Structure 1
Amino acid sequence: MALEFDCRDESQLLPGMRQARQAIARGALVVIPTDTVYGVAADAFNSIAVQRLLDAKGRTRQSPPPVLVAGVSMVRALVAELPKAAVDLIDKFWPGGLTLVLPAQPSLNWDLGETRGTVAVRMPDHRLALELIEETGPLAVSSANLTGEPAATACADAREMLGDRVDVYLDGGPAEIGTSSTILDLTGLVGRGEGTVRVLREGAIALERLRDVLGEILQLPEETTPADDTAGTVDEPGPSA
């Protein structure tokens, strides 16, 4: 039976975090609060746990989860290249509701699904999520809902949908933003002198704010062409989640 902890209660916070760490370590799933929406988390380097996450949501390997990190140092260990535009966005919007899709470090021994050599990364602006990531390492985190259902903005919503497919639920109260993150594809900036940044999903960070940082290299949704389906490779929570 799944365990649930109200982390707003100090007497439940420490045992809840301990149970969450232990669940991640054994390849189980944990629902965590983030600044955007609630996410369901798994060890990013445990392929069985990641598949369990996808199965719990009713998703296929064609929709790999993003990875939540606790800082830029984690990002640099996960991606093959961090272009200047990515650094500028991180400086402006992290921690926060912005997910960046970048080429993954090819030497990493992980399997998030059909990522086409990319990874979607985000640093959430939530104390509990960041503390857990600091202790466990990067987490694969997808929105804590069944496919086709609204993202959970409260722990009770997540538990109603996911039930005992998740081992531990950490209740941090209502999600502060309540809207999934904005997702940008920066792979067009890697390995070339010039390129564009594609908007894969509009969300918590307004496009006008992104334009202030990126200028004309930001390719707005109405400007996009069906060249590839990178937009279908991420399902972010927040994940994350």
Structure 2
Amino acid sequence: MMDTETLPATDAGLARAAGLLRGGALVAFPTETVYGLGGDARNDRAVAAIFAAKGRPSFNPLIVHLPDLAAARTVAVFDARAEAVAAAFWPGPLTLVLPLRVEAGISPLVTAGLATVAVRVPAHPVAQGLLRAFGGPLAAPSANPSGKVSPTRAAHVLAGLAGRIAAVVDGGDCAVGVESTILGLEGAPALLRPGGVTVEALEAVLGAPLVAGGSEVRPNAPGQLASHYAPGAAVRLEVTRPEAGEVWVGFGDCPGAALSLSEAGDPVEAAARLFHILREADAMAGPEGRIAFAPVHEAGLGRAINDRLRRAAAPRG
């Protein structure tokens, strides 16, 4: 076990964090979606340490975070479609899965041995500051034990990873609250994971519908395992009448709900609160209890919310 530092989101804090990363250590930092667990994407030992800290399956690829499109082009091959969506949504909660540039020196542990790489340019000013202070690509999955609820606050990171990582940069609460959308552009545009950029927005830029992609057996992007984001308590979905003893989480008008993703039925608010509410409901239910979620409309950000909830409710391995 190591002491995990909490660093301020100041120039001095980011300089300290960048120094730790250059030394092969792991540092968690905020993005606009969730906190990421950063390690040098070109350092095999650092990337292996990410898997070890999270207990993450080694076949599940990681996202490489970069400060801008120019830096991303040095890691991945961009075609006209990739350039168009990057121009429209970067920096922001969008990850692109593109052909890997072998000369980029990205650790094969990052790509799980695939010929593609997942790249993202985050918008959060603290993430941007850290990437520029570090001066290289950072591999960064969500900063939580694998399969558990993703962190949207520094305290969430410490609750799951204190003693396993060198530091966390405390940049406050994350605004979006669900992870980035992952778009595959190897062939036809494929939705590999719904997230902070909606399908409708992507299709408008691409001028074509997205196809479903990915695999729960051999993922080609993060977040595709069937059981993921799992709290300790069992989870039931699409519940309009909870059973006795269940912690009911409402959405919209749900009189009697113990908690609510959004009393106004606002999917943006619900996305930002999702993982915090999962944690709160889990604490209320206890390991032998059950959490019941009210229906969330399957459109826009609702797709991403429902995707996370289905994985939280999936049978545990």
Query: Shorter-normalised TM-score: what interval?
Result: 0.7 to 0.9
Query: What TM-score comes out, normalization by structure 1 length?
Result: 0.85
1:200-211 matched pairs, under 5 angstroms: 200-211=192-203
Question: Match for 1:198 among 174, 187, 190?
Answer: 190
Q: Contact 2:95–2:180 at 8 Å: present in 1 too?
A: yes
Confirm or deny that 1:218 pairs with 2:210.
yes
Query: What TM-score comes out, normalization by structure 2 length?
Result: 0.66
Give the match for residue 294 of structure 2. Answer: none
Deviations 1:206-239 (A, max 9, x none): 11111101122522x3xx587x966444359xxx
Confirm or deny that 1:2 pairs with 2:1.
no
Give the match for residue 171 of structure 1. Answer: 170
Deviations 1:20-75 (A, max 9, x none): 01110110000100011000000111110000011111113211211001111111
Give the match for residue 86 of structure 2. Answer: 90
Poorly superposed stretches of 4+, deviation over 3 Å: 228-233
Segment drifting more, 35-44 vs 109-118: 109-118
Paired AA for residue 222 in structure 2: V
Deviations 1:132-168 (A, max 9, x none): 1112211001101111111101010011101111111
Q: Which secondary structure does the structure 2 equivalent of 1:129 belong to?
A: helix
Query: What is the rounded CA distance, in whole Å, between the counterparts of 2:156 and 2:104 in structure 1?
Result: 34
Give the match for residue 32 of structure 1. Answer: 29
Confirm or deny that 1:43 pairs with 2:40.
yes
Deviations 1:160-185 (A, max 9, x none): 10111111110110001111010011
Alpha-carbon spacing, 1:230–1:99, altered in 2? closer, same or farther (3 Å): farther
Query: What is the rounded CA distance, in whole Å, between the counterparts of 1:225 and 1:151 in structure 2?
Result: 21
Query: What is the rounded CA distance, in whole Å, between the counterparts of 2:7 and 2:163 in structure 1?
Result: 14
1:79-158 matched pairs, under 5 angstroms: 79=76, 81-113=77-109, 114-136=112-134, 137-158=136-157
Q: CA deviation at 1:106?
A: 1.8
Q: Which secondary structure does the structure 2 equivalent of 1:102 belong to?
A: strand
Query: What is the rounded CA distance, in whole Å, between the counterparts of 2:37 and 2:64 in structure 1?
Result: 11
Q: Which secondary structure does the structure 2 equivalent of 1:82 belong to?
A: coil
**Aligned Cα root-mean-square deviation (Å):** 1.9
Q: Contact 2:59–2:219 at 8 Å: present in 1 too?
A: no
Alpha-carbon spacing, 1:112–1:225, altered in 2? closer, same or farther (3 Å): closer
Query: What is the rounded CA distance, in whole Å, between the counterparts of 1:19 and 1:77 in structure 2?
Result: 26
Paired AA for residue 169 in structure 1: V
Query: What is the rounded CA distance, in whole Å, between the counterparts of 1:112 and 1:153 in structure 2?
Result: 28
Query: What is the rounded CA distance, in whole Å, between the counterparts of 2:104 and 2:58 in structure 1?
Result: 18
Query: What is the rounded CA distance, in whole Å, between the counterparts of 1:143 and 1:112 in structure 2?
Result: 19
Q: Which secondary structure does the structure 2 equivalent of 1:32 belong to?
A: strand
Q: Which secondary structure does the structure 2 equivalent of 1:174 belong to?
A: coil
Query: What is the rounded CA distance, in whole Å, between the counterparts of 1:234 and 1:225 in structure 2?
Result: 9
Q: Which secondary structure does the structure 1 equivalent of 2:118 belong to?
A: strand
Between 1 and 2, higher relative CO (CA 8 Å, sep ≥ 6) is seen in 1
Alpha-carbon spacing, 1:85–1:232, altered in 2? closer, same or farther (3 Å): closer
Give the match for residue 191 of structure 1. Answer: none
Alpha-carbon spacing, 1:233–1:90, altered in 2? closer, same or farther (3 Å): closer
Query: What is the rounded CA distance, in whole Å, between the counterparts of 1:164 and 1:16 in structure 2?
Result: 19
